[in-house]
Amino acid sequence: MEGSNRVLIQGRLGQKPELRYTAKREAVCSFSVAENIPDSEAPRWHKVVVWGRQAELCSAQLDKGSQVFARGRNVECEFKTKEGADKRYTELRADLIGISMV
Phi-psi sector, 4: left (phi>0), alpha (psi -120 to 50), beta = alpha
AA identity, residue 70: A
Continuous H helices in the chain: 53-61
Residue-range domains of the chain with CATH: 10-70 (2.40.50.140)
pLDDT digit string, tens, across residues 43-57:
999 999 999 999 999
What is the predicted pLDDT for the residue at 2?
47
35 alpha-carbon distance from chain centroid: 12
pLDDT digit string, tens, across residues 15-33:
999 999 999 999 999 999 9
Pairing of strands 6-13, 27-35: antiparallel
Query: How many other CB atoms are there within 10 angstroms of residue 22's CB atom?
Result: 9
**Partners of 80 in the beta sheet?**
86
What is the predicted pLDDT for the residue at 1?
42
pLDDT digit string, tens, across residues 88-102:
989 999 999 998 776
Query: Whole-prediction pTM value?
Result: 0.85
